[in-house]
Amino acid sequence: MKKLLASLLLLVVVVGAAWYSMTGRDDDNLLDEDFTLPNDGATLALRPLPLPKQQPPLRVSLGERLFFDTRLSADKTIACATCHRFDLGGADGQQVSIGIGGARGPINAPTVFNSGYAFAQFWDGRAATLEEQAAGPVHNPLEMGSSWPVVLERLNADAAIRRDFSLAYADGLTAANVANAIATFERTLITPDAPFDRYLAGDRQAIGKLAIDGYQRFRDYGCISCHQGVLLGGNMYQKFGVLGDYFADRKLTTADLGRYNVTGREEDKHVFKVPSLRNVALTAPYFHDGSTYSLAAAVAIMGRYQLGRELSQEDVAAIVAFLESLTGKQPVKGLTQ
């Protein structure tokens, strides 16, 4: 009976994934062109991560400067890069992020790397665009705790910033243009050329035997039903705890409610944007609650609550080896200089 339920779940998830793919935003909106994969049916749900379209250079440069600029926060201590560190896979390595005055956030910070390919932003998908995502922390009292009037006053006092905004945007320095500049920079934060990308592109020597075995199990067990596309995730929503109640033995937090906080619909409780698995070996701790720092433990938890399967040590080791092959070339600070 349990195997039958798991098979039915997999069918539902596959159909759901296809529906989200058809009705959601285009998660390939940064692509220059379509890519042709090897003639291997097993790879059809996945694609190598390509480079993005060329972005306006001056806007990218402005966005990079602002991404590392603490003037966006009320006490001038927090920048976007505080919670999205380049040395930690675009995340911050903490269970939850710490904002101004030591304020403790409610949720784990997702990576900003490759986020331009995601169909929505934040765990609950409350931001439809990177511009919305970039603007949100400015006002959040647990993050930057500031406001646009304060930020714009500070930036207007900087002659170089003011000049460059006038060159990059017809209407100069505005709140919308600050958010757009940051978002434009974030769209360049791509991590291409992971070993698994080379494997998908036809180099069957790019990853080792254990990783190939892990990829096979990843597909066969149904992980690929949600973790698919160029990001291996980031293109659909899914309930956390499909075949087990992940939240049964804990005091619920607002963050645990997931997409329900956006829609107010009962069916959206504990539903989250499926995270990208790219660079996942670099972005511990895992899940919206940052509850585990071990990638192996995270894989086992997903098997238990999403697949209804107790994964063996061999399963976990192989899948972890596969996930480690998803680490691409990391962006570096100063790439626009």
Q: What is the pLDDT of residue 211?
A: 98
Q: What is the pLDDT of residue 149?
A: 97
Q: Give the Cα separation of 222 and 200 in Å (integer).
A: 19
At 259, list the tokens. 């997409």
- Residue 334 is predicted with a pLDDT of 58
Question: What residues are paired with 239 via a beta bridge?
Answer: 271
**For residue 239, what is the enclosing H or E element?**
strand 237-239
Q: Which amino acid is at 212?
A: I
Task: Return d(Cα 11, Cα 199) in angstroms, integer.
Answer: 27
267 SS3 class = helix
What superfamily would CATH give domain 57-186? Cytochrome c-like domain (1.10.760.10)
Catalytic residue among 143, 266, 310, 324: 143
CATH among 3.40.1390.30, 1.10.760.10, 1.10.10.10, 2.40.430.10 for 2-51+191-324? 1.10.760.10
Let me know if 143 is a catalytic residue: yes
H/E run at residue 135: helix 130-139
CA distance 200 to 17: 21
Residue-level pLDDT, tens digit, the chain, 337 residues: 444 444 444 444 444 444 333 333 333 344 433 333 334 444 457 889 988 889 999 999 999 999 999 999 999 999 999 999 999 999 999 999 999 999 999 999 999 999 999 999 999 999 999 999 999 999 999 999 999 999 999 999 999 999 999 999 999 999 999 999 999 999 999 999 999 999 999 999 999 999 999 999 999 999 999 999 999 999 999 999 999 999 998 999 999 999 999 999 999 999 999 999 999 999 999 999 999 999 999 999 999 999 999 999 999 999 999 999 999 999 987 544 4
Q: Can you tell me whether residue 177 is helix, strand or coil? A: helix
Domain extent listing, the chain? 2-51+191-324, 57-186
DSSP string, 114-127: TGGGSSSBSTT--B
